[in-house]
Chain A
Amino acid sequence: MRALHSLALLLLAALVASLLMLSAALAHAGLVAADPVDGSVLPAAPSTLTLTFTEPVSPLLFTLVSSDGERRDLTGARSENLNILLPLPPELPRGTHLVSWRVTSADGHPIAGALAFSIGEVGTRPTLIAGTDPLLAGSIWLARAMLYALLFLGVGTTLFGRLVAPLPPTLDRLSQLFCAAGLLLAPLTLGLQGLDALDSGFARLFSAAPWAAALSTSYAATVAAALVAFLASLLSRLSPEGRSGIMLALLATIAAALAPMLSGHAGTAPPTWLSKPAVFVHIAGLLFWVGALLPLGWLLQAGDAPALVALQRFSRLIPLAIVPVILSGLVLALLQLGPPGPAWQSTYVALLLTKLALLLPLFGLAVWNRAALTRPTLAGIDTARRRLRRSIGIELLLVLLVFAVVAGWRFTPPPRVIAELAAQPARTHVHTAAAMADITVTPGRAGASTLSVWLSDAEFGPLEPKSLRVALFNAGLGVERLTRPATLDADGFWRVPLTLPAGGAWSIELDLRIDDFTLLKLSGEIELAP
């Protein structure tokens, strides 16, 4: 018994350690700015590439395809506040270069992008084949869904066994099997995360790099908490009747509820003082509820006394779990959705609606079970008991489908992040043999915004036209030219207020009145969020 106590303490320490692995909890990040700007033309090779994000990120992988077609991985990137500083190799040749970048944000999800810049002259933009392998994405999704299922079925049933009623021996063995499978699967999901982080194929799963990369993401803390949960569940069997058994089952539940809180979108939504406890309460309540479904169904095969006692205790306790689950679920959904807007038309919301569509019948069944079936079953009516069993079976099925849907969130930024990115400026660079312009639209989306222009001549010298007119049009949308005069501000930027009806690729034209009789035209394109 002493040994079990110290084991429990050890697991608790491991859990605390996994909590400490967390850096400051922050949201899913997005790229805000880059220096040099994508598409820019520079007089000389830059020594550093600076990427600025909405949140601090950690560097993962950087690849340079230079104008001569040579491809190399860049090392030495470091993060500094919201920036990633990437030293570029000296003596880059003239022409257009492409840098592909991959970083990880606080929620553990890798984000990637590419940008091109030219030195001296514009060449053809080098290409880089990129994008997550669908097989890898599918594996990550399946492993996630299975890990959720194992957490609820392994840790949840263990909790039921300790708190509500002892598990029948066969089910207890099954529950242990779930926990053991979880112990194996959790590290595997870490390896998959590492592969995704490095954007590499399955073959590298057996090398150290993806594991090291994954350990540097916040997902490592989630895996550590899941391991503690599975291990504590198994150990709680050593003292089925004693206090240490209950303690270990509770520890397992706490660890299992912490696991999704430590990484992922939900636990990183600001304000985290609200989102983190909400995730914890949501998962803990669900562990109790979902964990009870399998044992209840199992026990209700017979209408004997132990089954009825278990049902009675469960139906007394379940409101304590369901009400917090619903409330915390609402809080999380509201935090993730952000204010209503075009960002709601995203995959994330589609998944949320699918989840709600599954939850409605699930809650319907739960209410029916409790209001209409529990009492007759306790009274010993066999038809009610059989109906209750079937209903619990369907509930279990629906829950597994919910896990499959929820695992899909791994691949979609929540609307709050989409909206935040849309509020960031959109930029473009246009140039001719005579002049260059850096154009910024703030915020870079449809609606009211400000367009600002920095002008220079082809030698990066000052260029001060008498006046500047900006024209925008969108052939794709059938929007004709909107022409506005820009005004020169004291800081040297030309600015013009805009109200654009929609996002997408807008053609932009600048008319520079160099002197009374000389007009210089610059034209390009700028991409705006909806």
Chain B
Amino acid sequence: MIRPIACAAMAGALLLSVTPAFAHVTLETGEAPVGSTYKAVLRVPHGCDGNPTTAVRVRIPEGLVSVKPMPKAGWELSTVKAPYQNAYELHGSKVTEGVTEITWSGGNLPDEFYDEFVFRGSLAGTLAAGTTVYFPVIQTCATGEEAWIEIPAEGQPEPELPAPGLKLLDATH
């Protein structure tokens, strides 16, 4: 019995030690149970090589349905709606399409400042617990862009610009 506990403790320690570096675009809440409502807070810690951020685009992963972004003062909000790959049950009705991409644009976030971009949605109950879904983000600046789109692979060094990830947990009843 001691063994699994020790393992869990070690895994926990390991998880803590790899909490995302502050310099990356990340999600404030890094894990959530499947079948729950998830509030995503996208943290943008800096601009692109000193340039101010003017737009943030995020791709919604398959399985996060009924997505609604939170408007933000000083930023224009737009979404892209598209059919999902699969159909999902939500509150007794079938959902086959929805927001797959959100863009906050026309803003100005200087490199010295920090900001958060918020949206929420429902994690489908059919998603596999234990896996991680990724939210690729493109940060557009006055000059240049940073594409936080690389999916970390097992056994590979941490990517330079990793896509923010959300670890899926077992459903809570």
Bound together: yes
Distance in angstroms from B102 CB to nearest chain A CB is 12
Q: Does B97 contact A (CB under 8 A)?
A: no
Q: Are B149 and A518 in contact (CB under 8 A)?
A: yes
Residue of A nearest to B60 (CB): A517
Q: Does B118 contact A (CB under 8 A)?
A: no
Contact with A along B128-159 (1 / 0, CB 8 A): 00000000101000000001011101000000
Q: Does B68 contact A (CB under 8 A)?
A: no
Cα A518 to Cα B138 with chains together (Å): 11
Contact with B along A494-527 (1 / 0, CB 8 A): 0000000000000000010100111101000000
Distance in angstroms from B81 CB to nearest chain A CB is 16
Cα A518 to Cα B134 with chains together (Å): 11
Q: Does B57 contact A (CB under 8 A)?
A: yes
Residues of chain B within 8 A (CB-CB) of A521 are 150, 153
Residue of A nearest to B138 (CB): A516
Distance in angstroms from A464 CB to nearest chain B CB is 18
Interface centre among A517, A519, A521 (most CB of B within 10 A): A517
Cα A517 to Cα B145 with chains together (Å): 13
Residue of B nearest to A518 (CB): B149
Distance in angstroms from A232 CB to nearest chain B CB is 72
Residues of chain B within 8 A (CB-CB) of A518 are 136, 149
Residues of chain A within 8 A (CB-CB) of B43 are none
Residues of chain A within 8 A (CB-CB) of B150 are 511, 519, 521
Residue of A nearest to B100 (CB): A517
Q: Does B59 contact A (CB under 8 A)?
A: yes
Residues of chain A within 8 A (CB-CB) of B147 are 513, 516, 519
Cα A292 to Cα B153 with chains together (Å): 76
Distance in angstroms from B82 CB to nearest chain A CB is 13
Distance in angstroms from A471 CB to nearest chain B CB is 9
Total interface residues in chain B, CB < 8 Å: 9
Q: Would you call the interface of chain A mostly helix, strand, loop, or mixed?
A: strand
Residue of B nearest to A467 (CB): B147
Residues of chain A within 8 A (CB-CB) of B57 are 516
Residues of chain B within 8 A (CB-CB) of A511 are 150
Residues of chain A within 8 A (CB-CB) of B153 are 521
Residue of A nearest to B150 (CB): A519
Cα A521 to Cα B157 with chains together (Å): 13
Cα A511 to Cα B160 with chains together (Å): 12
Interface centre among B57, B136, B149, B150 (most CB of A within 10 A): B149
Cα A518 to Cα B150 with chains together (Å): 8
Cα A511 to Cα B159 with chains together (Å): 11
Distance in angstroms from A509 CB to nearest chain B CB is 10
Cα A379 to Cα B151 with chains together (Å): 94
Cα A511 to Cα B151 with chains together (Å): 12
Distance in angstroms from A284 CB to nearest chain B CB is 65
B:87-118 near A, CB below 8 Å: none
Distance in angstroms from A473 CB to nearest chain B CB is 11
Residue of A nearest to B149 (CB): A519
Residues of chain A within 8 A (CB-CB) of B149 are 513, 516-519
Cα A452 to Cα B9 with chains together (Å): 49
Q: Are A517 and B59 in contact (CB under 8 A)?
A: yes
Q: Are B151 and A519 in contact (CB under 8 A)?
A: yes
Cα A528 to Cα B150 with chains together (Å): 29
Residues of chain B within 8 A (CB-CB) of A517 are 59, 136, 138, 149
Cα A518 to Cα B148 with chains together (Å): 10
Distance in angstroms from B156 CB to nearest chain A CB is 9
Cα A513 to Cα B153 with chains together (Å): 17
Residues of chain B within 8 A (CB-CB) of A519 are 147, 149-151
Cα A119 to Cα B151 with chains together (Å): 30
Distance in angstroms from A448 CB to nearest chain B CB is 26
Distance in angstroms from B29 CB to nearest chain A CB is 21
Cα A519 to Cα B136 with chains together (Å): 10
Cα A521 to Cα B147 with chains together (Å): 14
Distance in angstroms from A480 CB to nearest chain B CB is 12
Cα A99 to Cα B57 with chains together (Å): 51
Cα A513 to Cα B149 with chains together (Å): 9
Cα A516 to Cα B153 with chains together (Å): 19
Residue of A nearest to B58 (CB): A517
Cα A28 to Cα B37 with chains together (Å): 73
Residues of chain B within 8 A (CB-CB) of A513 are 147, 149
Distance in angstroms from B158 CB to nearest chain A CB is 13
Distance in angstroms from A374 CB to nearest chain B CB is 76
Cα A517 to Cα B100 with chains together (Å): 12
Cα A13 to Cα B136 with chains together (Å): 82
B:40-57 near A, CB below 8 Å: 57
Cα A519 to Cα B149 with chains together (Å): 6
Distance in angstroms from B7 CB to nearest chain A CB is 31
Cα A416 to Cα B9 with chains together (Å): 64
Residues of chain A within 8 A (CB-CB) of B136 are 516-518
Show 18 residue pairs from A and B whose CB-CB distance is below 8 angstroms, ordered by the A residue: A511-B150, A513-B149, A516-B57, A516-B59, A516-B136, A516-B138, A516-B147, A516-B149, A517-B59, A517-B136, A517-B138, A517-B149, A518-B136, A519-B147, A519-B149, A519-B151, A521-B150, A521-B153
- If A516-B136, A519-B147, A519-B150 are given as contacts, then 18 extra A-B residue pairs at C-beta distance below 8 Å, sorted by A number, are A511-B150, A513-B147, A513-B149, A516-B57, A516-B59, A516-B138, A516-B147, A516-B149, A517-B59, A517-B136, A517-B138, A517-B149, A518-B136, A518-B149, A519-B149, A519-B151, A521-B150, A521-B153
User: Which B residues lie at the A interface, using CB under 8 A?
Assistant: 57, 59, 136, 138, 147, 149-151, 153
The 8 closest A-B pairs by CB, nearest first: A517-B136, A517-B59, A519-B149, A519-B150, A517-B149, A516-B138, A518-B149, A517-B138
User: Which A residues lie at the B interface, using CB under 8 A?
Assistant: 511, 513, 516-519, 521
